[in-house]
Structures are given as structure tokens and as C-alpha cells.
Amino acid sequence: MEVDSLKRLWQFLTLPSRIYPPDSPWVPPLTLQTLIQLGAPRDRNRKLFLCLDHQRVVARLGVKRHGEGEHRKLHFGFFECCEAYPEATRLLLEAAHQFSPELALIGPYNFRMEDPYTGVLVEGFEDAPVFWSAYNPPYYGDYLQKAGLAKVQDLITYEVNLDSLNKVALERRAGHAKARGIEVTSLNLKERVSDLREVAVVMNEALKDNWGFEPFTEEQVKELAMLSYLFLDPNWLLLARKEGQIAGCSICLPDYNPWLKESGGRLTPRLLWKLLFKKKDLTRVRAWALGVLPPYRRLFAAPALIWECAEKGRREGVYSGEVAWILESNGPMNAMARSMGGHPTRIHRVLEKPPIRSDLE
């Protein structure tokens, strides 16, 4: 059944609360953020589906046509399913694929690969996830594969203890960067949108050859700017520049999940107060993004950014975090995570199903 009313949308939004018991590691995303990610209700490229058993919702799925030319695919996401209904997964995916049968179906994405809550968790179910990391029951991956999807990429999460960093080597390399004119500064709140545009420029160039990467658009920059008022601590968004020109950036996100768990995903006055004024109380972060433009990679811009993150953590009492996530196919970044003392803790999987038919048929 397609979501075509406010009642159905509410059922779509509230299904997870029936799947995960209160003592589950799962943390509800902020409902407001979910609505932003779902996009405009009248978007012709997007559909939301529910699977019902005697008027009781037992599964959900969203799908969106995404990309251009040879990169155009159907991205599915927001998948949830009660354990007793494995067949519901197949029915939802079939309905989603009929939306554009000439396109490959890939996900879970909500709805871009770079958006929060990407992939289906296949390893690492014991511990609570960090902020913006997907969590699901162990059977989800099996249900998706039995419905005809196959693995195309794994996303690896590393746990890093800041005390385990080779600080002597890192500080030395950061010194080399400074000697070569690299300066690292925090996000300028008065120039928030302008700075985030520079972040997009860096990411679009630095990650363009990564599997599955899609360039950030102006619309997504504005969306990130809106979310930044709640979620981005300006002290954890760092920009590297040389002679005023952007060279690289890094973004760490405080782990807000304990607060979201407490609020049930609702933007309560208490949660809003904490998000606005209590970010420094959090002692754990997620390393969400790191990118350096090619001309500046030999100038030690990346070590300079990492060193500044480590120093901020030391000053603010943050000593552990997660590097989430790194493509399994990205050898250099996996090697960097391990060189920092990181050890894999979770794996999220992206799956794909080929087109049902050619658009030439």
C-alpha cells in the first residue's frame, strides 16, 4: 500500500517503535530529521510503501529515483520489517522496483549514500550505534538478500581511542603542514553557509572517485546548514586553508544518541536545550567526514586536521570515537584508520538488484 495520507505517513513514521523494545540498542532518529530526509510529499520521483496484515502495519519502505544518466538508479531506504513477516520484504521491494523497473534498485539509502543511516547492519549488533549510524535487527540483511538483493559494498566502522594515537608523529606532520602555510580554523558561525559551500567543494573533488559518491548540490548544502544549527558543533567542523584558499576539511559529530534515546526521537524542550547549549557535556564523537583537495595532500593537510581534532578532544574531555564509515574498497582510508589504532566494530552493507527490464523494451 502506498502512503497517500497523513494517517499513513504517521503509521510509516511510528512503525519502528513497535519493532524495537525499550532495551534495544536501537536509537530513534529525530522525527523532524526523518521528515526532512523523506522530502516533499508531492515529489514525483519518490514513493513510500507500507505492508499491512489485517490493517496492521508490519513493514515499510521508501524509494526514490536518483542520479543522472548512467548513474541513475532507484534508491530504497527507511526499511523496517517485523520479524514474523519475511515475505513483506519481498512484496515491498517488488512494489518499489515497479516504480521504475528499467533502473537498478540499490540501498538502503535515506535517500543518498552520504545521508545519515546508510546501509543495513550485518555485523556489530551488541553495542549501541553512534549518532547517524544505522541499527537494525540481525535478520534484516537476510530478508533483503532472500528478496533478491546482492551485496555490492560494505561500509566499515572503526573504534578509535584518542589516547592510542601516535601523537609524536602526528604533531610532527601537523608542524610540517604549518610550515608549508596550512592553517586550520573552525566553522565561522557568521559565515555558516559560505563555509559549508567550501566543505561541499572539497568533498565533491576529494571523493569524486569513491564508489557510489554523489556530488553535494546547493540544495543539500542548505539542508546541511539547517541541520547544523542543532547538530554541528562549530568547534568540530574544521577547515584547512593555504593563503586563504580552501585545502581540506573534517567534520566530527558529537554522539547525541544518548539524548535521542531519552527523548524517543522527539524534539522536546529538554532535548532542544541540550542540543543548543550542552554539546560540551558529550564525551564521544563520530568522525563523519575528512577530505583534502589533491594539490594539498603532500602539504600534510590531512594530518593537520586530525591533529587539531585530537587536540580539541583532549581539551574538551573527549577521548574516544568512531570513524564511520569507510568503504571496504578504500584501501588508503582503511589503512589510515588502522594506523590510528582503530579496530573494526561494525559493518553496514549496501545491496543492489539489477533492472527488471531494459528501458528499450
Residues 132, 191 within the same domain: no
Share of the chain above pLDDT 90, in %: 73
Q: Which grid coordinates are listed for 46?
A: 519518490
Residues 43, 13 within the same domain: yes
Residue 203 has pLDDT above 80, yes or no: yes
**Average pLDDT of the segment spanning 317-322:** 87
Residue 242 near residue 180 (C-beta atoms within 8 A): yes
Is the residue at 116 inside a domain?
yes
Residue 113 near residue 212 (C-beta atoms within 8 A): yes
- pLDDT band per the 50, 70, 90 thresholds, residue 125: very high
Is the residue at 346 inside a domain?
no
Tell me the HSE value of 121 on the side-chain side, using a 13 A CA sphere: 23
The per-residue pLDDT for 358 is 61
The per-residue pLDDT for 359 is 54
Residues 170, 237 within the same domain: yes
Q: Which SS3 state, helix, strand or coil, does residue 347 take?
A: strand
Residue 360 has pLDDT above 80, yes or no: no
Amino acid at 62: G
Residue 215 has pLDDT above 90, yes or no: no
Q: What is the CATH number of the domain that holds 56?
A: 3.40.630
Task: State the pTM of this model.
Answer: 0.93
Residue 271 near residue 260 (C-beta atoms within 8 A): yes
Residues 122, 184 within the same domain: no
Residues 203, 100 within the same domain: no
Distance (Å, whole) CA 223 – CA 332: 30
Containing structural domain, residue 265: 166-340
Domain count, the chain: 2
Give the rounded distance of the alpha carbon of 233 from its chain centre.
17
The per-residue pLDDT for 110 is 92
Distance (Å, whole) CA 297 – CA 360: 45
- pLDDT band per the 50, 70, 90 thresholds, residue 74: very high
**Average pLDDT of the segment spanning 215-237:** 85
